[in-house]
Amino acid sequence: MIEPSENTGAKQTLQCTLNGSPVEMDVQLSKRLLHILRDDLGLTGTKRSCEIGRCGACMVLVDGKPVNSCLTMAYQCEGKSITTIEGISGDGIDPIQQAFLAEGGYQCGYCTPGMVISVIALLHENASPSEDEISEALSGNLCRCTGYGGIIRAVKSAIATRKME
């Protein structure tokens, strides 16, 4: 019999930074970041899909590194800075997002927030990644619609645009 254990433990205070603003909330420390974001905070740009860290639809930045929020528990966020897709561009569009738009690097769009997060993390670390490095950095983000053609073109275009600036 399954005990309703995971999210019924005692709540404790979590302090972190979320999309640039300090956040203090009472949560069970084992609660997954994915569910905190989607269910408690209404930040539904972070998507739920495999919940075992294989598809990347739930990717967020934790201190600038891409992580699967489905594998991240609340206590691991203590004192960290978390950026979700909603925190990427404020009300505007980031040049990387613009590249996805221009090249058609999405279809249903469900994987796209996670994909954009991974590209942002990659280009932050490495302004001109090789094809191998692009492939490595994005191989944890599954897309079922595009066959990745538009995504690869979007990443290359974002790199080229950055170089010109």
Partner 1 sequence: MALNRETSGGRWRIRPDGPAKVTGALTYLTDMSMSGMLHGRVLRSSHPYARIKSIDTSEAEALEGVHAVLTWRDVPGLNGYGIAVQDQPVLCRDYVRYVGDAVATVAADTPELADYALSLIEVDYDALAPVDDPEAALADGAPKLHPHGNVLHRAGYERGNIADGFEGCAHIVEETYITPRQMHAYMETEGGLFVPEPDGRLTVYAPTQHGLMDRLQLSRILDRPQASIRIVSSPIGGSFGGKDELNIQPYGALLALHTGRPVKIHNSRWESVRAGLKRHPMKIRMKTGIDADGRIMAHDVNIIADTGPYATLGAEVLNFAVEHVIGPYRYEHLYVSGVSVHTNNGMSGEFRGFGGNQAIFALEGQMDRLAYKAGIDPWEFRQRNRRRAEDPGPFGHPIAQTNGAEQVWRTLAESALYARRERLAYAASAPSSPPWIRKGIGAAFVMHGAGLGFGIPDPAGGRLRLAADGKIEALFGYEEFGQGLIATLELMLIEEFGFAPDDFRIVIGDTDRVPDSGSTTASRATSMMWQSLQRMRDPFRSALLKAAAAQLDRPAEELAIGEGGVREKSGEKRLLLAYQNLAAGSSEEIAVETNFIFPASDTKRIGAHLLYTYAAVAVEAEVNTLTGRVRVTDQFHAVAAGPVMNPQGYLGQIEGGSSMALGYALTEEAIMDEGRYVTRNFDTYLIPTIADSRGGFEVVPIEELPEGDPHGPRGVGEIGSVGLAPAIAEAVFQAVGTRISRLPIDPSELQKPTDALRKAVKDR
The beta-strand segments (E) located in the chain are: 11-18, 21-28, 59-62, 65-68, 81-83
Residue 10 in the binding site for partner 1 (CB under 8 A): no
Task: Report, in Å, the least distance between residue 5 CB and partner 1.
Answer: 8
Residue 162 in the binding site for partner 1 (CB under 8 A): no
Q: Among residue numbers 25 through 54, which ones bind partner 1 (CB under 8 A)?
A: 38-39, 42, 44-52, 54
Residue 18 in the binding site for partner 1 (CB under 8 A): no
Return the residue of 20, 95, 101, 160 that touches partner 1, per CB under 8 A.
101
Nearest in space to 57 (alpha carbons), one of 84, 78, 97, 80: 84
Residue 158 in the binding site for partner 1 (CB under 8 A): no
* Phi and psi angles of residue 27, each rounded to the nearest 5 degrees, phi first: -140, 160
Nearest in space to 159 (alpha carbons), one of 130, 137, 135, 117: 130
Contact 96, 60 (CB under 8 A): no
Contact residues for partner 1, defined by CB under 8 A: 1-4, 6-8, 38-39, 42, 44-52, 54-55, 57, 84-86, 88-89, 93, 97, 100-104, 106-113, 116, 131, 134-136, 138-139, 141-153
